[in-house]
Structures are given as structure tokens and as C-alpha cells.
């Protein structure tokens, strides 16, 4: 792999980087120094758990405060606002799954640190133009992978019954909320995120960009579950994804509508929001 070709000193930069992340996060939240004796991948998993929970709770509560209380009825009709009980159940499901979700970036970091992937450390190693070309290829691959993973989680009945159905109990506008974005069976959530890891073996990928994109998934999934149709083409916004939750057979895409358009599963959103 590309990173391995540079040798141990180069790979040590990845270890030093994730060690720095661990130091910042764990020294701030963990009492004492007990965590320092843990293996490096376990430290990274703990750090990812802290980051995952904080990102989920802070973004979710702020998002809900703005759209359901501060700007109440500005974006969503009164009868489409989820109950506190519905959001509480979503938070419980996501919170139980979070430690499993956070194992995926810990595993990807270990593979990067071991030189198994095509990750590079600095953008200057490939140049800015190639950085953006590789990033575009990475995102196209991830979009393709998530589309087909998501679609098969519907089409293969046992996968739907035992995994994906946990997420699809939220099937109306008044049961969806930003907190539903990570309310999955843990295996389901990992399967839908795993294209991010597969991409590392195919495309030269900037390490920090990969880590950022993994965690930005939490924000993106909150966005597509808030039922606010942003009407920004070709973005797979909440208007499209709400249709997915009500028809079960359309709009499997993640970032954009292009895969659904290419494979015949696109359905344009009706205006489910209050006319402005």
C-alpha cells in the first residue's frame, strides 16, 4: 500500500496524530491516568465514543431546539413535530448503538496506522488538484456503496427484518427527527458506513479528511431526518429521505439523488411542508 511504502517513520505520523487526538479528548473527560495503559486502538475507540456521543447529543439537541422551539412552526407544521417520547426512544436506540458505531473509525485508524491503506498524511504529498480529484472519487464510491448497501438492506428480507426495520419504525413526518439519524441496529449502521473504509484501499485518501467525513456522517444523517426540504439540487435532502421513510422503495441515496436517478428509484418530493 502507498503508506506502507514510506516505512515505519511515515506510519508513525498517523500513530502520533491519533495519539494526540486521544490525549486531548481522554485527558479532558477521563479521571486519572488509567486510560494511558490501554492499547492504542482501545484508546482510539474510547476517544471516538466520546466524540460520537458529544456530536450526536449536541448537534441533535441544538437542531431540535431551533426547529421545534425557537423557530417553532417556521419550518414544520404543528402536526409534523415529533413527540418527546418518540425522540427519547430514538436517543436510546442510537445511544446503545454508538459504541459499536465508533469501533469502525477505530478499526480504520488501525489499518491506516499499519500501512494497509492508501491514506496519505499531508495534502502537499499529492498536490491540491489531485487531492480534490481523489476526494471526488472517494465520495462517488461512498455514495455508490451506501446506495447499494441501503437498497439491499431493503431487498434482502432477513436483513430488513432483523436489521433495518429498527430504523423504519419511524415512518411518518411526526415520528422523524434529527435524533432518528443514528437510530439503527448497530450492525445496520456499520454496514451503511463501511464504504468509507473500503474506499481507503482503492483511492489515495487524506487522513484527516477521512476522519472528518466519518464523523460528519452524524450531522448529515441528522439533516436528512429533520423533514425540512431544502430544495437544493442535487442534494439528497430531508424532503427526499422522508419519502424513503414513507414508501420504503425510493430514494436510497445518501448525499445526492444521482444514484437513485441512475438506477430508477428516484421519487421527487411533494411539498410536505407549510407553504411559505
3-state SS string for the chain: CCCHHHCHHHHHHHHHHHHHHHHHHHHHHCCCCHHHHCCHHHHHHHHHHHHHHHHHHHHHHHHHHHHHHHCCCCCCCHHHCCCHHHHHHHHHHHHHHHHHHCHHHHHHHHHHHCCCCCEECCHHHCCHHHHHHHHHHHHHHHHHHHHHHHHHHHHCHHHHHHCHHHCCCCCCHHHCCHHHHHCCCHHHHHHHHCHHHHHHHCCCEEHHHHHHHHHHHHHHHHHCCCCCCCCCCCECCHHHHHHHHHHCCCCCCCCECHHHHHHCCCCCCCCCCCCC
- pLDDT recorded at residue 176: 85
Residue with cell 456499520: 190
Contact by Cβ (8 Å): 76, 227: yes
- pLDDT recorded at residue 5: 53
Is pLDDT above 90 for 269?
no
Is pLDDT above 60 for 196?
yes
Domain residue extents for the chain: 3-226
**pLDDT tens for residues 59-92?**
999 988 888 888 777 777 777 788 888 899 999 9
pLDDT band at 6 (very low <50, low <70, confident <90, very high): low
- pLDDT recorded at residue 69: 82
**pLDDT tens for residues 161-185?**
999 999 998 877 778 888 999 999 9
Average pLDDT over residues 135-139: 97
Model pTM score: 0.89
Mean pLDDT of all residues belonging to the chain: 89
Is pLDDT above 50 for 20?
yes
First and final C-alpha spacing in the chain: 54
Is pLDDT above 50 for 274?
no
Amino acid at each position: 500500500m502507498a503508506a506502507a511504502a514510506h516505512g515505519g517513520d511515515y506510519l508513525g505520523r498517523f500513530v502520533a496524530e491519533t495519539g494526540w487526538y486521544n490525549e486531548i479528548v481522554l485527558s479532558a473527560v477521563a479521571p486519572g491516568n488509567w486510560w494511558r495503559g490501554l492499547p492504542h486502538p482501545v484508546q482510539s475507540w474510547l476517544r471516538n465514543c466520546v466524540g460520537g456521543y458529544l456530536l450526536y447529543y449536541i448537534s441533535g439537541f441544538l437542531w431540535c431546539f431551533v426547529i421545534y422551539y425557537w423557530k417553532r412552526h417556521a419550518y414544520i407544521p404543528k402536526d409534523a413535530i415529533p413527540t418527546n417520547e418518540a425522540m427519547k426512544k430514538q436517543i436510546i436506540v442510537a445511544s446503545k448503538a454508538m459504541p459499536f458505531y465508533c469501533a469502525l473509525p477505530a478499526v480504520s485508524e488501525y489499518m491506516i496506522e499499519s500501512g494497509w491503506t492508501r491514506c496519505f498524511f499531508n495534502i502537499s504529498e499529492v498536490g491540491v488538484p489531485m487531492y480534490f480529484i481523489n476526494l471526488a472519487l472517494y465520495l462517488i464510491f461512498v455514495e455508490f456503496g451506501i446506495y447499494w448497501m441501503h437498497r439491499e438492506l431493503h431487498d434482502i428480507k432477513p436483513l430488513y427484518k432483523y436489521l433495518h426495520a429498527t430504523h423504519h419504525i419511524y415512518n411518518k413526518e411526526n415520528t422523524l427527527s434529527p435524533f432518528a439519524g443514528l437510530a439503527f441496529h448497530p450492525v445496520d449502521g456499520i454496514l451503511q458506513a463501511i464504504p468509507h473504509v473500503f474506499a481507503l484501499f482503492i483511492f489515495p485518501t487524506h487522513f484527516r479528511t477521512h476522519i472528518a467525513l466519518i464523523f460528519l456522517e452524524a450531522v448529515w444523517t441528522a439533516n436528512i431526518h429533520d423533514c425540512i426540504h431544502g430544495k437544493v439540487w442535487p442534494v439528497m435532502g430531508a424532503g427526499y429521505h422522508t419519502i424513503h421513510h414513507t414508501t420504503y422503495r425510493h430514494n436510497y441515496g445518501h448525499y445526492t439523488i444521482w444514484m437513485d436517478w441512475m438506477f430508477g428509484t428516484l421519487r421527487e418530493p411533494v411539498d410536505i411542508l407549510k407553504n411559505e
